[in-house]
Structures are given as C-alpha cells and as structure tokens.
Amino acid sequence: MKKKPATIKEIARKLKISPSTVSRALNDHPSIGLVTTMRVKKVAEELNYEPNQTAIFFKQRRTFTIGVILPSLSEPFFSSAISEIENVAADQNYTVLMGQSHDDAARELQIIHTFRKHRVDGILMSLGKNTEDLSFVEMLSESEIPIVFFDCVPKIEAVNKVYSDLSSGMKEAIQAFASIGHQNIALINGPENLLASQDRDSAYRTALESESLQYDDKYVVSTDLTERGNIDAIEKLLAVPDRPSAIVSFNDFVTLDIMKYVRQKGLVQKKDIYFISYANYPLWKYMENPPMGSIEQDPDKQARKAAEILFEQIGAKEDTAPQTVVFKSKLVLK
C-alpha cells in the first residue's frame, strides 16, 4: 500500500513536543529556539514531510495563483506579455493559470467563471475583440478578486488598466509618410467596437491635421481581423480612383495579408505602395522586404506593470483607487 504522507502530529510524537511547537519551528517562528527548529526540520526531512498546501491556503486566504486571459498565445505580442507576467509571478512565489479566449466572448466568460471557482487571487486580462458585456467586473469585485486589464482595455473608468497610447506612434507614422511626399494616406482599422480601433481613428485624424493633410473617409476601412476581412479592406482601398500610396494598418498580421495581396496584384511595396502597422512583431527581421515601419507598443512593459499593479492589489489590506498607466507608442523604421 502507498504510504500516507507524514503529518505534524507524527513529528511531534517522535520528538515528544506539541504539534503547535512543530508548526512554529517549520515556519521559523522566533519564539522557537534554534536547536528545536533544527531538530524538527531534521525529523521532517527524515519522514519526507510536506506541508499541507490546502490548509496553508485556507489559513492565509490565498491560493498563490493568478489567472491570465489573453485572446491568443500564438501572437508574438501576447507571448512576450505572458513571459513577463510569469517572471513577476515567480518573484512573488505565484503560479500562473492561462486561458485563451480566441476572441470568443462566451469562452472568455467561461474562463473567468472557472478562475473564480478555483479562487485565484487575481486576474490579468486583455479583452477579446468581441467582448461587450463587462458585468463580470462587478462579479469579481463582489468575490474580492482584483482584475487588471492591459493592452485591450475596457472603456469604463473604475478599473485598473495598462495600455499603449496609440496617438504618438500614429503621429510619427503619418509624419514619416508625409516627409517623403505621400498625401493619400489610408487607414485599415480594426473592428469598430474596439476601444483600440477608436483610438487609432482619432489619432489618425489628428495626425493628418498636424501635417496639413485633409481627412477623407474613403481612405478609412475596417477589418474584422480575419484574412478574408483584411483582403476585403485592401480591395476597397485599391478600388478608389485616386488610391492611397501609403497605408497605416491595425497590426502586423493585417499588414502581412495585405502585402501578400498587393504583390499578387502586381504592385511593388515601397514603390507603388507603402505600409506602416502597429505591434512591431519580431517576424519582420526575417523578411527581405519588410514594411516601411511598425509601431512599438511594448507588450513586455505593459504586462510587467499590469502584473505589478495586480500584486499590489492582492497585498493591499484595504480597497485602493484604480490605477491607469499609459505607455507611449513609437515608430520603428525598418
């Protein structure tokens, strides 16, 4: 038969001391002398004693786990983010539980309920592109589970959030295009309901104005971020009589699809048409003919700061005011 794990009571019987003394010695309590502490730990090692984590969690009212919900781990942006989150969690002796929403709002909510059921101590989350119902924020608050949003964050104010200011990178992108003579500059934006899409649109308008370029809605199209949606978007722009000579796109994956499409149509990149996109994924360094540039959003910095805020929330003895941290985006020319 499999031997049962040793208990504090067994160690106490063997040493002829009280279980409470054993417990304090195992936790290096200052009230227990060094000799007793060493004897207790020696016997515990001989008996292969392991602490009852469930009891520890119950006593401390913590599980030492956090949940992380991301749209997709296959994206380099989120791979970089989760690596930084795990580094911060390891420093706090925490375990990270992962959930991928794949931009499915129902699946996202199911993951939240699972994390809540398993009593994670906190949640880090980047919203999926189809998420509109945010009632889970109140549910988590009632369960005393803090949540910090990063990258794709909700519009509501009373939550912790960390994100990138998209306007600085957009301004640099439009300036870069205008400096080499482009006037018909288009925007392929993401889904209209996304806060990130709305921020891009606003930044695009402001950046055009700063370069004395006129806004024209025929140069602004949206994609649902699928390959088909990306192709539909570039087709609309190429069908415009005075088609754009330069395009800012929602992210690098959109740009990959539209670059492939324009090549198939016989257009030469950086001659007939120029591209700048968001995210600055590492994949561009492996391409012979990358886009003109990409806008860095610092996923690692966002994720680290979001994790730090979450652990501040977990360790707080009373409610604290929500924090909003914004990093500036910046254009990286290729």
Question: Within this chain, do residues 39 and 84 fall inside the same structural domain, yes or no?
Answer: no
Question: Within this chain, do residues 86 and 155 fall inside the same structural domain, yes or no?
Answer: yes
Residue pair 215/185 in contact by the 8 Å Cβ criterion: no
Q: Is 57 contained in some domain?
A: no
Looking at residue 291, its amino acid is: P
Average pLDDT, the chain: 92
Question: Within this chain, do residues 188 and 282 fall inside the same structural domain, yes or no?
Answer: yes
Residue 6 or 156, more confident: 156
Q: Is 36 contained in some domain?
A: yes
Residue 292 or 196, more confident: 292
What are the angstrom distances between the C-alpha of 49 and each of 9, 44, 170, 212, 320? 11, 5, 59, 73, 39
Question: Within this chain, do residues 226 and 205 fall inside the same structural domain, yes or no?
Answer: yes
Query: Which stretch of 49-53, 233-237, 272-276 has the lowest confidence by average pLDDT?
Result: 49-53
Structure token digits, residue 286? 């492996």
Question: Within this chain, do residues 155 and 172 fall inside the same structural domain, yes or no?
Answer: no
Residue 269 or 59, more confident: 269
Our count of domains for the chain comes to 3
Q: Is 1 contained in some domain?
A: no
Q: Is 56 contained in some domain?
A: no
pLDDT in tens, 162-193: 999 999 999 999 999 999 999 999 999 999 88
Range 243-257 average pLDDT: 96
Residue 154: domain span: 62-163+299-327
Question: Within this chain, do residues 24 and 172 fall inside the same structural domain, yes or no?
Answer: no
Question: Within this chain, do residues 38 and 91 fall inside the same structural domain, yes or no?
Answer: no
| pLDDT at position 27 | 81
b/e per residue 77-95 (b: at least 16 CB within 10 A)? bbebbbebbbebbeeeebe
Question: Within this chain, do residues 157 and 305 fall inside the same structural domain, yes or no?
Answer: yes
Q: Is 2 contained in some domain?
A: no
Instruction: Indicate whether 88 pLDDT > 60.
Output: yes
Query: Which stretch of 98-102, 213-217, 317-321 has the lowest confidence by average pLDDT?
Result: 317-321
**Percent of the chain residues past pLDDT 70, beyond the cut:** 96
Confidence of residue 1 (pLDDT cuts 50, 70, 90): very low
Place of tokens 């700048």: 276
Question: CA-CA distance, 91 to 129, in Å (whole number)?
Answer: 31
| pLDDT at position 3 | 56
Q: Is 284 contained in some domain?
A: yes
Question: Within this chain, do residues 149 and 102 fall inside the same structural domain, yes or no?
Answer: yes
b/e per residue 48-67 (b: at least 16 CB within 10 A)? ebeeeeeeeeeeeebbbbbb
Beginning with the edge strand found earlier in the chain, give each strand of the sheet holding 160-165 in spatial order: 95-100, 65-70, 123-125, 147-150, 160-165, 324-328
Q: What is the CATH number of the domain that holds 236?
A: 3.40.50.2300
pTM for this predicted structure? 0.78
pLDDT in tens, 3-27: 567 888 889 899 999 988 988 888 8
Structure token digits, residue 131? 């998420």
pLDDT in tens, 296-318: 999 999 999 999 999 999 988 77
| pLDDT at position 66 | 97
Question: Within this chain, do residues 128 and 76 fall inside the same structural domain, yes or no?
Answer: yes
Alpha-carbon Rg of the chain, whole angstroms? 26
Q: Is 46 contained in some domain?
A: yes
Question: Within this chain, do residues 26 and 46 fall inside the same structural domain, yes or no?
Answer: yes
Question: Within this chain, do residues 38 and 81 fall inside the same structural domain, yes or no?
Answer: no
Q: Is 315 contained in some domain?
A: yes
Range 232-260 average pLDDT: 96
Calculated CA dihedral for residues 329, 178, 239, 200, nearest 10 degrees: 20
Residue 1 or 102, more confident: 102
Instruction: Indicate whether 54 pLDDT > 80.
Output: no
